[in-house]
Amino acid sequence: MIETRLERYCVKFATRIGFASAKLAIHPDVGFPGRIFFIPGGCPLLVLFKQANVVSALKEKQQQHLEFLKKYGYNAIFCDSLKVFLKALANLLENPALSQSQ
């Protein structure tokens, strides 16, 4: 599934269950997650969408940004499928304190 289609599906799902999201436009620095989902309880989820079978080829800068965000307690993931997105949402809804362990 291409990134834009996957992102649309995830946004649509999140909207249907009552979560808001916003597209992040960070310029000129690239490599940061492109979307934020506002999860109840004050635990935003930052998502870097990648095309399936490309996740293993995350650019070094993208990997560094994800590690940086996680180090400072942010919920940040790369996502190549709706299943990955749903799992991240479920983890946050079950235990918002997971931000330090992801």
pTM attached to this predicted model: 0.84
Q: Which residues does 49 contact at the CB level (< 8 Å), separation at least 6? A: 3, 4, 6, 7, 10, 34, 35, 78, 79, 80
Share of the chain above pLDDT 90, in %: 55
Backbone φ, ψ for residue 100 (5° rounding):
-80, -15
pLDDT band at residue 101 under the 50/70/90 scheme? very low
Residue range of the domain that includes 60: 3-100
Q: Cβ distance 68 to 26 under 8 Å? A: no
**Token code pair at residue 100:** 């330090």
87: region left, alpha or beta (phi > 0 left; psi from -120 to 50 alpha): alpha
Q: Which residue type occupies 6?
A: L
CATH number for position 61: 3.40.1350.10
- Number of domains composing the chain: 1
Summary mean pLDDT of the chain: 85
Report pLDDT digits (tens) over 48-65. 998 877 656 678 888 899
Predicted pLDDT of residue 76: 95
Instruction: Say which residue the tokens 């492109």 belong to.
Output: 34
Predicted pLDDT of residue 74: 93
pLDDT band at residue 27 under the 50/70/90 scheme? low
Predicted pLDDT of residue 100: 45
CA distance 42 to 62: 24
